[in-house]
Structure 1
């Protein structure tokens, strides 16, 4: 080969080879840098961000993400909310890049002091848009004792349980609610005279609820998860002013408090004057159901015509005695108000 032609050709090949090697490396480096600079996030702080096509790429599913650094002390508990037009989710990692928890909103209590990493990710490869992050400290109750009429928040560790003490000073009807958006709750209550009551899903959704006639004394309320889980929970104890052994005979107009313990409560309703009557069963804990029966095969019933899940009957009644049945549609227990009035 002609030497004058060989040297320029060698130089051209070297330049082409250099370009082929450097371009992908530079592109990859720019992608890594874009996702490796976490922004600091402090408890009580609200920050704004945005995921675009230039954000760091998750090579597994094509979604984009942004990182935030959080420094925590052992026992720090907080809630992180993600809002905005971005359809996204949150994931929290420790300094070993181990996934600790994911979801939105996110509740977490630091098991040890250290630096944690929060990832804001799009749910899909085409999930883009601005977002807001709000990190709020959680106020957990340090007192294991429960107070009637108040709510207390606590943290359930993985594979663990929490016990609270409840002091009942007066015999009466009480309702204990255990709520959590992080796990399927399970509640056990034990007390004087061998008292024992357990509930899984007696409350709303997967929350627990126990309502009963309690004697004075000290009770233990045990909180756990139906399956292996951890997270934030709230316990609330309410007392109901209900006349025990109240007469089941009613005369309109009347308003009384009841407590659903059995499958149903049955009342004898006396109507002295013909007219249109409004009969309501109101409850914050029951899915109310009313059935009214009378002479000559008279029968009318209602489930959810009132507010929320309350039952309401608006019916014309003639003088006489009627049978009024009140119950929970799903067989639950708890307090309710029964109202009968002429319109």
Structure 2
């Protein structure tokens, strides 16, 4: 980005009272005005002002602001470019690099004094030209109230990290998303015995956490992957019902026929117990659309492991096991949290249960007859 060169050019123009020009662009004092909620169309051509560090071009605008005012600026159109904002020759804010955002660019900032600010629309290289549309809008600051159950918070990241409160009143599966066009997001949840962090699990450079939460208060920490990046973002939370056979804690005994759902913890793991009163053929599947699963079974002289033995990236183990107690570890290959369904089939389990039920019924009938 050509911020250094533009800063020097703007400072020079201001210092000499408008006598010098930025590569043929109008003086800062003669730059056209940019007003709130009134989009302006323009075009970067070979006649636009030149950025002296690489020969790319720019266009300047003036934007009058009150002190501490929150502002958002967005650049759209065919031009592949960026935005930089200056106040008296000092850089105030700049848009993030162009990766993963197409031609659009955006930024948000808080004015550090009343007056006229300079908004520079910069082409991304000496051969970048084309039409664009730039829009400035007043941003409403976050009111500081907690997000209760579900909802949305729109705010401006102006520090290294910022904390927000999620108040969960009903247990469920919660999807929490952090989205921004201005910076590469990182989202962290902490509270009520739960902890998780995510970067880039949503679309592009957005973050997402999906996990079961019990009633209580949680802290959501918002930050940028880049230390100095700032800008506007949206934080949302949505709730869905948990599966009826959801397992929340390690050490739960697996059924001999059926399945359970579990959320892998922050290290991408969950542990179960499997008890076999007699030798049996056992099939275990760890099925997930969110993580690449791994299965491990340990007990007595038995130690088994599998990755991708099922469909796709799902793990599967099929083995004849002696009677005994076994530990079943389910994990993700990349140590990530995610929802997993653990399916269990023990040969003879259904027939044994039916036989036991038939025996109990016969005994009850015999007692009645006697």
1:280 is aligned, of 279, 283, 287, to 287
Q: Indicate conservation of the 8 Å contact 2:183/2:231, yes or no.
A: yes
Q: Which has the larger radius of gyration?
A: 1
Q: Indicate conservation of the 8 Å contact 1:140/1:152, yes or no.
A: no
Equivalents in 2 of 1:175, 1:153: separation in Å? 17
Equivalents in 2 of 1:190, 1:49: separation in Å? 49
Distance 1:176 1:59, change over 3 A: closer
Q: Which SS does the other structure have where 1:31 is aligned?
A: coil
TM-score (norm 2): 0.58
Equivalents in 2 of 1:82, 1:219: separation in Å? 37
1:264 aligns with 2:258: no
Equivalents in 2 of 1:130, 1:269: separation in Å? 69
Q: Deviations over 1:28-71 (max 9, x none)?
A: 79924488753343444444322221112223332211123334
Match of 1:235 in 2: 235
Q: Which SS does the other structure have where 2:288 is aligned?
A: strand
Match of 1:23 in 2: none
Match of 1:332 in 2: 336
Where do 1:298-313 residues align within 5 Å? Answer: 300-302=306-308, 311-312=313-314
Q: Name whichever of 211-220 and 43-52 sits farther off.
A: 211-220
Distance 1:28 1:75, change over 3 A: closer
Q: Deviations over 1:226-250 (max 9, x none)?
A: 8455333443445572443595424
Where do 1:152-163 residues align within 5 Å? Answer: 152-158=153-159, 162-163=162-163
Gaps of 5+ in 2: 1-19, 97-104, 346-370
1:83 aligns with 2:84: no
Where do 1:35-54 residues align within 5 Å? Answer: 37-54=30-47
Where do 1:190-229 residues align within 5 Å? Answer: 202-204=198-200, 216-221=215-220, 223=222, 227=227, 229=229
Q: Name whichever of 42-51 and 205-214 sits farther off.
A: 205-214
Equivalents in 1 of 2:317, 2:218: separation in Å? 48
Q: Indicate conservation of the 8 Å contact 1:281/1:290, yes or no.
A: no
Q: Which SS does the other structure have where 1:124 is aligned?
A: coil
Q: Indicate conservation of the 8 Å contact 1:291/1:301, yes or no.
A: yes
Equivalents in 2 of 1:230, 1:303: separation in Å? 45
Q: Which SS does the other structure have where 2:69 is aligned?
A: coil
Equivalents in 2 of 1:29, 1:258: separation in Å? 58
Equivalents in 2 of 1:281, 1:34: separation in Å? 60
Distance 1:274 1:158, change over 3 A: closer
RMSD of equivalent CA atoms: 5.0
Aligned residues: 298
TM-superposed CA distance for 1:99, in Å, is: 1.4
Q: Indicate conservation of the 8 Å contact 2:287/2:314, yes or no.
A: yes
Equivalents in 1 of 2:183, 2:37: separation in Å? 21
Gaps of 5+ in 1: 1-26
1:62 is aligned, of 51, 55, 66, to 55
Equivalents in 2 of 1:260, 1:247: separation in Å? 15
Q: Which SS does the other structure have where 2:72 is aligned?
A: strand
Q: Which SS does the other structure have where 2:165 is aligned?
A: strand
Where do 1:108-257 residues align within 5 Å? Answer: 108-111=108-111, 112-135=113-136, 138=139, 140-158=141-159, 162-170=162-170, 181-182=182-183, 185=186, 187=188, 189=190, 202-204=198-200, 216-221=215-220, 223=222, 227=227, 229-237=229-237, 241=242, 242-245=246-249, 247-250=252-255, 254=259, 256-257=261-262
Equivalents in 1 of 2:228, 2:34: separation in Å? 29
